[in-house]
Structure 1
């Protein structure tokens, strides 16, 4: 873009922003962030009102879909769930506009960014904010859908989109409003759109029994059609295995053998399609007087399996020893030891109370957080979609993790297999038995010490 066209785009941006919030003109535009996925600007108007403008970077996700879905989810969270997401003033999911790019213009977050004050807040205030977080998660859990995908406005004619059918126990009026106003369409996750994936014919797996396999089918097709192994003399080859398409396809084939058992289909509430904010850390939350006033950064939210999204929010996550009260010798400790111990106690109390509140108000999330073999079952799904460009090693190590828990995992898989079999008859049952008989044979081989 030339200097002249950049100036024209900036002027167009300012004009659009001013008009969207009822001002005559923008008097100042300041770039706040030049991030990996977005450029963010602060705009001040002649009537002292302000706005935040954001332009996605090319790497953010697929054109149109990324912006169109994000503003829909923000609106859904704000108007339907009554979560303090930012109000969108105007937006464009196409670059054919005076700005020359997709954009979102929204209100400025109210309150103070929690990241700036969290460490200085009293324990009482931090507990209050944590309770607000649990209530936000409760609202997200209140509406679940019939299929996986991203949320879009129903009037936008998104290819492949279907009406947003709510399956949770909500009012008939809400279910009808959702069908009228929203649709569920293509998944925006970059796994399905990077490289040549965007031009391949890919089933994104919109139903529970399809999703775990859809990711690996995408990677398999790409490796089969597009990989070009580096010459053996290439100094950037990390390993022979990493450079072997046969090795990747072999590992992905092994993943497919366990894919039907990774999502806990025996508990539908854990795999229900739920919109989730996976990045609830202090820089995405704003607070005032001890309560959350704004939740930002919904770009990666989608309607996906709860079990793959639910985790302890970064804000309350704590990996140290749980210490809920000072030890008897606390008064004899050095000042730096006391300070460190106080920090540990505060983090322990917040995590402990978060789990107590979650068990009480959000039982489905609580079951996800304490799912038996949860990480063993879910982590392979997270690492299976890009072994060629990233690294084959993480997926390989996850299979080793399964091996380390083999007896317990096989028992679990066998149990799930029997549950599936109860609902099958005829040829479907016969085919499924043949495809999954490896569970029994592998268990016997493992007991004989013959499994690698």
Structure 2
């Protein structure tokens, strides 16, 4: 392989394509680094020399990192994980993941052993983590093909590992770091029992650093008061809006028709954030156990779960952006296991296949079997949690917990021209106030500090319904095209996806051909064309 071709393979994203805005996505992921210096660092981490390396290959590329496999003469292998230039919060993300991996490993969670890392300027030209290669392989798409017993075994082990996490005593909310990796002056709280080596410092999740937020002089934690934990993300967004907020179109172009293609005012979001901050003190549970800080895996999905041939879990990977939060905010089912859109799953009913399953046609059998699989996973994750993880189950039992977590997440989401999610959360809080508000000392429910007219609540509900319908339609179209929500597809599917997208575009424009203005708007804001993402 020529050097130019080899560098392209190592430095650039080659694991898929995007059907729109591809140059931008590729630029975000391009990372030129010193290959020989990385090899030297890897060999040194296991007391070998660069001459002991037999191969250096790209193993995987995800949303935030590129992973290389470094094979040694003795048959061992080292994994080198380098973040993309666009991955935030840079050195904090790497430093926090290293410390988190070591911390949870010491508490019985199987994770890759960190062999070396760097978060400062170095000869490699990038932050990096060097790790041992775990035995086994990720479940990945094979999750959908597991037998019931195999699924149950994995779910049971997941819940056992989560129980270990919930039983760890942590002093405050934030993210975990080695004390040595935080610059002087950065707030930190030492973790008892770590001899001062480990601490909890600023939140390492992306939303705290996205865009210009990384330059804001704001309180990113750690926080010892759940009221501060609740308020801080909204205060972060208020600070960003005051410094940088400008009217803009919703980032998701498919939403723009709902708003008549008009720019949305950040001041409207400011009002919602202020309403949320007034509500926040009332959202803190009176049960102190629900306020205890807990660490969860940030993305517990099949690609991050390694198993042996008999489906014993050999490791959990990708702890980047991990957070310590109060239990009532950290609780919740991992997205890959939940099935909240299904009434039977919500009711916690044991799943069963219908009596006429064997006589169904092939298409109906596939649909019903998939529905059953989702119910099966949802039910048994909850069932195992109820049996083994009291702290988590106690938090999940609170019917207002799901709404509180959604409210907290939407208040902290970076504003990109969409006000409706937080607005609708506030309406739902008002509708369920008696179940959500923490009671006064005399047992009475305090008055809700936020009030909406019925007309305003209906306006928000209508917008929310329109956006949900758009989400469903976009999911259907993405499935037809074979692309992810950001337009990503496999290299093999790229050309056919582009062709199908063009056909759908022509059909969409033909459907509005009688209205010149609507046709112009549809063409200008078509969701599968290249666009300016900052308009």
Q: TM-score range by the shorter chain?
A: 0.7 to 0.9
1:331 and 1:222 map into 2 onto residues whose CA distance is 57
1:311 is paired with a residue of what secondary structure?
Answer: coil
Structure 1 pair 267–58 and aligned structure 2 pair: CA distance change class (3 A) = farther
Structure 1 pair 115–229 and aligned structure 2 pair: CA distance change class (3 A) = closer
1:384 is paired with a residue of what secondary structure?
Answer: helix
1:84 aligns with 2:104: no
Deviation at 1:338, TM superposition (A): 4.5
Deviates more, 1:26-35 or 1:319-328: 319-328
Structure 1 pair 221–352 and aligned structure 2 pair: CA distance change class (3 A) = closer
Q: What does 1:28-427 correspond to in 2, within 5 Å?
A: 28-79=55-106, 81-94=107-120, 96-158=121-183, 159-165=185-191, 175=192, 177-205=193-221, 206=223, 207-229=225-247, 243-262=264-283, 264-288=284-308, 289-319=310-340, 320=342, 321=344, 324-334=351-361, 336-338=363-365, 340-386=367-413, 388-403=415-430, 406=431, 408-410=432-434, 412-413=436-437, 416-419=438-441
Counterpart of 1:428?
none
Structure 1 pair 337–61 and aligned structure 2 pair: CA distance change class (3 A) = same
Q: Deviations over 1:65-85 (max 9, x none)?
A: 111111000001112x11111
Q: Give unpaired runs (5+ residues) of structure 2.
A: 12-30, 458-535
Structure 1 pair 181–330 and aligned structure 2 pair: CA distance change class (3 A) = same
Structure 1 pair 27–189 and aligned structure 2 pair: CA distance change class (3 A) = same
Any conservation in 2 of the 1:376–1:398 contact (CA below 8 Å)?
yes
1:439 aligns with 2:466: no
Structure 1 pair 139–332 and aligned structure 2 pair: CA distance change class (3 A) = same
Structure 1 pair 379–440 and aligned structure 2 pair: CA distance change class (3 A) = closer
Structure 1 pair 145–239 and aligned structure 2 pair: CA distance change class (3 A) = farther
Any conservation in 1 of the 2:139–2:305 contact (CA below 8 Å)?
yes
Any conservation in 1 of the 2:295–2:323 contact (CA below 8 Å)?
yes
Deviation at 1:192, TM superposition (A): 2.3
Q: Deviations over 1:394-419 (max 9, x none)?
A: 2122223334xx2x314642xx2514
1:230 and 1:310 map into 2 onto residues whose CA distance is 34
1:240 and 1:346 map into 2 onto residues whose CA distance is 40
2:173 is paired with a residue of what secondary structure?
Answer: coil
Q: Deviations over 1:47-104 (max 9, x none)?
A: 222121111123322232111111000001112x11111111110011x212011000
Any conservation in 2 of the 1:204–1:211 contact (CA below 8 Å)?
no
Structure 1 pair 343–34 and aligned structure 2 pair: CA distance change class (3 A) = closer
1:297 and 1:69 map into 2 onto residues whose CA distance is 12
Q: Deviations over 1:168-208 (max 9, x none)?
A: xxxxxxx4x23533111111122222333333321235121
Deviation at 1:267, TM superposition (A): 2.1
Deviation at 1:151, TM superposition (A): 0.9
Deviation at 1:346, TM superposition (A): 4.5
Any conservation in 2 of the 1:23–1:46 contact (CA below 8 Å)?
no
TM-score, structure 2 length as denominator? 0.69
Q: Deviations over 1:335-385 (max 9, x none)?
A: 554455445444434432322221121122113223222232221221123
Any conservation in 1 of the 2:264–2:418 contact (CA below 8 Å)?
no
2:449 and 2:210 map into 1 onto residues whose CA distance is 38
Counterpart of 1:433?
none
Structure 1 pair 344–226 and aligned structure 2 pair: CA distance change class (3 A) = closer
1:418 and 1:394 map into 2 onto residues whose CA distance is 29
What is the number of residues matched between the two proteins? 413
1:267 and 1:242 map into 2 onto residues whose CA distance is 43
Q: Give unpaired runs (5+ residues) of structure 1.
A: 166-174, 423-435
Deviation at 1:44, TM superposition (A): 1.5
